[in-house]
Structure 1
Amino acid sequence: MQLDDQLLRYFGTTDIAAIPPATLQDAAARMRVDLGLERDKGRRFALWTLLYLLGAAPDLDVAFPDPADREAARDFMDLAAASEEE
């Protein structure tokens, strides 16, 4: 799952800075629906991470029934937070 492909699919552009706030909200809602329907663990994780970066991700216990997946998401959250501190 490529980030550019996901940006094009949900937002119609790969330039995330050019996306109007209303479009972000609408696309995030569609992404949350897709997250709930997706059964492939890798695709679910990719959708969740994009939602997380947009500030629209569901809680970990909702998104990931598997404890190992929740831990991987926590690791991602820690890495994202550490990159903001630099």
Structure 2
Amino acid sequence: MGSFSIWHWLIVLLIVVMVFGTKKLKNMGSDLGGAVKGFKDGMKDGSAPEEKPAPPTGQVSNAANAEKTTIDVEAKTKS
């Protein structure tokens, strides 16, 4: 009673296919494969050395230009 024969596993597989259907089993398999791939990519990215991002272009770099382009706005509350 310790192990099942090939016929037992084929019957179990047939019942699973009948309950879930082949389309749902295919979707579950592809979702599981995508999750495993995403996990592996995440683990690979986590072990890579961090790179410092390049400073964005087009932003104000000094305080003098920042004062010229800044607009102060007062918020008014309704009463």
The two structures have a TM-score, normalised by structure 2, of: 0.31
Which gives a bigger RCO, structure 1 or 2 (Cα 8 Å, sep 6+)? Answer: 1
Structure ranking higher in helix proportion: 1
